[in-house]
Structure 1
Amino acid sequence: MHVDPATATSTAIILTNSHGQYLLHLRDAHKPICDPGTWSLIGGGPEGQETPNEAIVRELREEAGLVIPDLKLFTTVSASGPHVTEGRIQVYEGRWDGDADRLPVTEGIMFRWFDVDTMVHLSMCPWAYEAILAHHAGNASCEIAPVPAQRPVASRGGARAVKNVIGAHLYLERDGRTLLGLRHPDAAYAADHWHALAGHVERESVRSCLVREAAEEAGLVIRPADLDLVHTVHLLDHAGAQPRIGLFFRATAWRGEPEVREPDRCVRWEWWPLDGLPRPMVPYTRAAIDAIRAGCSYSEMGWA
């Protein structure tokens, strides 16, 4: 592992087991700490002259009595809020197959294993949840997983077939930054969240949809021939939801600078560094961007 200690003010670790579950730590609710009362990841800031590598090893040992070999750097996230030192969190990844109930609890309330689908029902630390979704999308979900027999509604054809909504998404990259829009507080979907320029495909091709949406929402001129499919994500928000397929296209060329054309939907466009994406952000959009950077062409979210 090599991490520049100058880039990080804190550390965290994503631990998975052979069942694809994630180890979460329930934080104290009534203490002057960051993200109180939420399920989060083991971690903490370097002490003295520690590097982030040394800090995460110490935090694992102090908080859970764990020594995990072969830790790897997964991503870097930003955190902000009360009792948070503004800066960057180096998120590592590792494997452990032990019993969470047997871990010593020196800080917080408890440790538990959770699968990703269960996390939507938890009070999660936002940056930790987004990092886990990105990890899940870039690993287990890069392969198409079979839908269990008890959930046939999304897997069988004929009379029981369910239509999937198709969404077209624009991925623009310039100087190591990507374009995202802040959704209006009263938007029907993802209010007050950062999201890619996107729209539902009507009676038109996906490329034609994106050309139209780019012009209508941001005043950008894009040719269909300059759009390349770079990622597909298959989504199920919850068991009774209508499945959705999100297609992300990278524009290799365009004209114009983004401007707010539909203020009732998007209040601001901004270019964000790829290693410093904003919060809060639509989880599948963040996961898709991470997958694009990792060269993963397909992911699934919300399926068992």
Structure 2
Amino acid sequence: MWAAPTALISFQRAVTLEHFDPFLTAAVADSHGIYDSPASRLDHTLAYFLLVAVGDGRTAVQAAEHLMRVHAPMTGIEPVSGKRYSANNPGSQLWIHIAGWHSVLEAFEMYGPGPLSREDEQRYWAECAIAAELQTCDPADVPRDREEVRAYFDRVRPRLCVTERAVEGMHYLLWTPPSKGWHFAVGSRLLSLASIPSLPRWMRTLGRFALPPALDPLLRLPAKAIARTAARRDNWAMIKAAPYIAPMSGAILAAHATCAPPTTPTTITPQRARKLYGSKGDAGLWATSRVGETA
């Protein structure tokens, strides 16, 4: 599902959705990465999620450790509440994680093959919980099924809000200026026609990017046709276009499409992978993030 063309729609949906958390908005705005180099920043973020989903244990752990190091300096004060934020904060990391995995399922069901079987959906959320262990999330807080995901969104909704910087960030991601590359500007606008209809209407209204409800079915039909066409021949069209839009993510998708069966067809837990392949120098950083600054 993470390697399907619908994942591109879900990724734009997720990074837009993240801005409803004021602490994530502050981290994104203060670091300024999406404004300085949106294509590179988003490519690296998508590449991380892809590596966790389709990579081996060594690669996933090393990618997670790199992400932790990148996020470690991202601390500051959220201007609306006056509270301190940290990009590695467990609550913020859980919001990012659930926004991503929920968006992948939403786009896959809306534009891809359709709803999963009961067994596949159970497996999907079980894998979501495993992937969360690579971040600073508390495993006990990770939803394990669709009902728990709904309960999670209901629980966090009172602290969601839209600030001036959140609206700026969401609009920038949905309609990136041509000055950042015509291909990325065109791509973001085309994706927005599919990602916006997948979001709840209250979010669209709050984020000031609402489309007339009558347009939803008209936009979903061509998006579904394009996604299904792009999925043919092992995502050939998407892999060929990736070097111009998201080269790192494209390389991962290409390797995934052509890789041989694993030499050791066994699975290990994130804890075991971290012990085998992780850096001892990051163990303290991990522990500090788990018990450190709270939003």
Fold shared by both chains (TM-score > 0.5): no
Q: Which has the higher contact order (CA 8 A, sep 6+)?
A: 2
Higher strand proportion: 1
Give the number of the structure whose alpha-carbon radius of gyration is greater: 1
In the superposition, the TM-score normalised over structure 1's length comes to: 0.26
In the superposition, the TM-score normalised over structure 2's length comes to: 0.26
